[in-house]
Structure formats: structure tokens, C-alpha cells
Structure 1
């Protein structure tokens, strides 16, 4: 079976303890996925082109991991037991739904968009376990192993979880109807990444003219809270990019600013790499 992710690594001579991951940039749906929701609506959860925008991470010594499967199938940025019992055909003790499941956006999506149900029929425990075993766990194993090896080699590791966001929140979001800034940095209110590192990332965007906000409304999801541990010199933060900066949100195509924005991201990546290099 083909691996459900792509992991790009730098040369050994150029390697830094720096990892970028994009859990939502996949758009593939495995053959067992059955839904009547049209692809145009399923794409609403797709972090389109995020893996491409951050591609230069590898040139400066970073690793870049991205999922090849859609988060609408199973979401790597959720806890493995964040399962909505309403999706199942029978009770299952593993279900421990969080605030994400309450909004229909747990490990397995209940809704594609507000009031647009993903499934007409309940799912079985076996179906969900299959998704966890063959898609979710391999992604996390790749990320965990990469972070662990770098931490072992360097004594520290810096992880950036890369996302995109709609320019305005919808009814499934906690900021429904609110216009969003250019960039939102999430460090779980300072608990997942060192303040100096977060400031470097903020400065990298703001000095290029972008409006940057921290932790509102996104503090960082499961990946940031699970892998960040400042006391152990493991720094993890989330970057949310406003889609209007680089794409046509309705057509899911790059806009006229795509190339310029990608160049800016390349410079942001370089600033981050320079910081990491100076601290190992």
C-alpha cells in the first residue's frame, strides 16, 4: 500500500532540526469513501497549495511532511479518539468527543459545511479503525519519528504546523462571519513554543507587510498541543494563512498574487531557518 503522506527531507549536510507539516493539503479520497457531498463542497476543508507554498523549507535544511489524503476522510489534526458518537451505527467506548466534534469537525467529519451532512448512513467502528490504522497513524508516526530523531541529534526541535483558512469564518467556525487577518499564529497561548521563536515568525511576516494576529481564534490544534513541549526544547506552533492572499476561494485556483506570495513565504522560511541555525 502506498504511503498516505509525502515526506521531503534535506541533505544530511544541510539538515536543521526544523519540521514543517501540512496535515490538510491532501485532496485524495480512498476507494472506501462514500458520500453524496459534491467535490466542490468537500474542497472547503482543503488547504489548497499549502504544501507547495512551503516547499522551499527543504532548501534551507527543513523537513516538509504533508498528507496526501483529504482531512474530510480523516483529520490528522485531531486526537485519535475525538469521535462523534452520532456518526456510529453502535456505541463505542473509544469515543471522547471534543469541541471540534461538537461543531461537526472531529476526527471524522460529520458535516462538510454548515448543515451539509457528510454521510447518509452511519459508519461502523471497523470503518473508522481502518482509517486510523492506514491513514492517521502512519502520518503521525512519520511526524513523531522525524521530530524525535532531530531532537536526539540536536537536543532541540522546531515544528511548524501549516494551514490555510477561509477569508471569513462560516457557521462551523468559532468566528462565524468575521473577516480574518492575513496570518494567525497559534502557540497554545505561549505553552507550545518559545516566545522568542514565535516572535521571529511574527516579525518575518509583519516586516513584509502582513497583518499578524496570535491565538485568535486559532490557538493551535491537536498537532501543536500534542508535540509541543517547551521544557524539553520541543517547540511547536501553527501558522494559518488567509486564502484570499494567494487563491481564488471559490474556484480553488491560484490567483494573480500566488507567485509573489510564494516568494514571501520563501523569505519567511529563510528567516525561520536562520533562527534555528543560530540556536543549535
Structure 2
């Protein structure tokens, strides 16, 4: 099902994979206010649709936006409240890249009215799709599980020191899913890749906002290091790397399906 701002692939079991930073488009009326840096959309969670293409055949629901996070960050609180108070972070409508480069030409940053318009045009439809899909799964199966699928450059000095682990899981310090769900993931063999839970990434707005474990809605974020499947210098998809990491992602998704289908 394709809408103006997102695509929802409908599944047949209670797992939704949301990819809120997978989009790359920028509408022309926004693009002309932006810098050449912004036009490159370098901070995209690149190629997640290719990495998780197996999930469609497993029966998962898959939700992907059309537009770039530079237009509006679908994983931010629409009120602008920070997920990590006191830490450096990008805004609901980002004005700088992860390298702190300006995304807008001088004097052309989005106004409050423009931000409101983007919430209505881009943010709200995506979140309505999440809410509706989780409600459908709960009604049909009695349970709903959502994997928030993300990826990020392995080194981003603006946000963290050193190099990230490869698999960064977050469940808001245990609050967004059943303890047994995360434990079953942590017991999987992700070697030779490194992994951590609730390290630098504890789960973003979507993971936190839709979680309701007491009512059988469980959410988990995975921030995958892009060094596991990209040539990070060129942002090109590395087929060999991808072929090596995809079985680990499929193992993860299959484990979430097992949990989702448990009574």
C-alpha cells in the first residue's frame, strides 16, 4: 500500500519493521531552500529495504517513508522534546548534518508554520500508519511486535566517541518490551559482529512512544553500524558485506517472529 509519503507492505503475522530514516526524497519546494550538503542526504539509513528484503517473504509488515529525515525526522517527538536531554542531537526538522554542516541556505531555515506543515504532511501519516498497523495486529493476533530498523555511520564524532559496536539494540532500558524478548535476542550468536544493548542508543521516539508491554505491544530498536554492509567512504552498497550480515538480521527477525507468535 503506497501513500503520498510512505509505503506499507502488509504482512500476515504480528511483526512490524519500521524504517523511518530510509527515505531519500526531498520535495522541490523544500529542496530549493537547502544546501548542496542537504541534497546528498548523507545521513540516510541507507539501503535498509535491501538489507531486510527477506522479511517480506517471512510475513512481516514493513513500513518505509518516501522522504528524507532532512525534511522531518519521523523518530523525533513532534513537540521538539529531546530524547537525550543535555546531549547534542538533531532537531525535528534538522538544520545541520551529522557533521554539523548547515542544511539550509542563509535565512531559509524552516519557520514554525513550515514545521507544522511538515508534521501534518509527513510525520502524522507515518505515525498513523504505525498506530493503525499495531492496532490491526493486536486485534488479529492479540500481540504486536515492532522492530525499529536503523543504521548509522560507524564513527560520528558529533554524537559519540570512538567506533560504534555493530549491533546496537535499545529497549529504553527495559521498558519498551518484555524482558524475555530482549534476552532471547541477546542469546543469539551475532559473531563475528559486536553487539550491545542500551548503550549509546536506547531506543528513539517511536520505540518509546508505541511501547505498551503490559498490553502486548513490544518494541525494539536496532541501530546497525553501516560498516557491516557499506563502503562507508562512498556510501555504496557492499554486496559481499551485505551477504555476510543479512543472515544475522534474518536470525534476529525470525526470533522476533517466534516471540510475537507465543501466546
Paired with 2:120 and 2:86, the residues of 1 have a C-alpha distance of 20
2:16 matched to 1:19? Answer: yes
Structure 1 residues 208 and 40: alpha-carbon distance in aligned structure 2, compared to 1, 3 A threshold: farther
Paired with 2:29 and 2:243, the residues of 1 have a C-alpha distance of 36
Structure 1 residues 141 and 100: alpha-carbon distance in aligned structure 2, compared to 1, 3 A threshold: farther
**Cα pair 1:81 1:97 within 8 Å, conserved:** no
Q: What do the CA deviations read for 1:195-223 (whole angstroms, capped 9, x no partner)?
A: 1111222233x355322101110000100
Q: Which sits farther off after the overlay, 259-268 or 135-144?
A: 259-268
**Cα pair 1:98 1:106 within 8 Å, conserved:** no
Which of 24, 28, 43 does residue 25 from structure 2 map onto? 28
Q: CA deviation at 1:276?
A: 2.1
Paired with 2:14 and 2:204, the residues of 1 have a C-alpha distance of 21
Which of 225, 236, 257 does residue 208 from structure 2 map onto? 225
2:194 matched to 1:211? Answer: yes
Q: Unpaired runs of 5+ in structure 2?
A: none
Q: CA deviation at 1:41?
A: 5.3
Match of 1:109 in 2: 94
Paired with 1:251 and 1:58, the residues of 2 have a C-alpha distance of 28
Paired with 2:131 and 2:231, the residues of 1 have a C-alpha distance of 34
Paired with 1:127 and 1:117, the residues of 2 have a C-alpha distance of 18
Structure 1 residues 155 and 28: alpha-carbon distance in aligned structure 2, compared to 1, 3 A threshold: same
SS in 2 for 1:59: helix
Match of 1:86 in 2: none
> What are the equivalent positions in structure 2 for 1:71-86 lying under 5 Å apart?
71-82=69-80
Structure 1 residues 220 and 70: alpha-carbon distance in aligned structure 2, compared to 1, 3 A threshold: same
CA RMSD of aligned residues (A): 2.1
Which of 225, 236, 257 does residue 242 from structure 1 map onto? 225
Q: Unpaired runs of 5+ in structure 1?
A: 83-95
Paired with 2:250 and 2:156, the residues of 1 have a C-alpha distance of 27
Match of 2:5 in 1: 4
Which of 54, 57, 67 does residue 56 from structure 1 map onto? 54
Paired with 2:39 and 2:27, the residues of 1 have a C-alpha distance of 17
**Cα pair 1:80 1:132 within 8 Å, conserved:** yes
Structure 1 residues 135 and 100: alpha-carbon distance in aligned structure 2, compared to 1, 3 A threshold: farther
2:185 matched to 1:201? Answer: yes
SS in 1 for 2:41: helix
**Cα pair 2:16 2:60 within 8 Å, conserved:** yes
TM-score (norm 1): 0.85
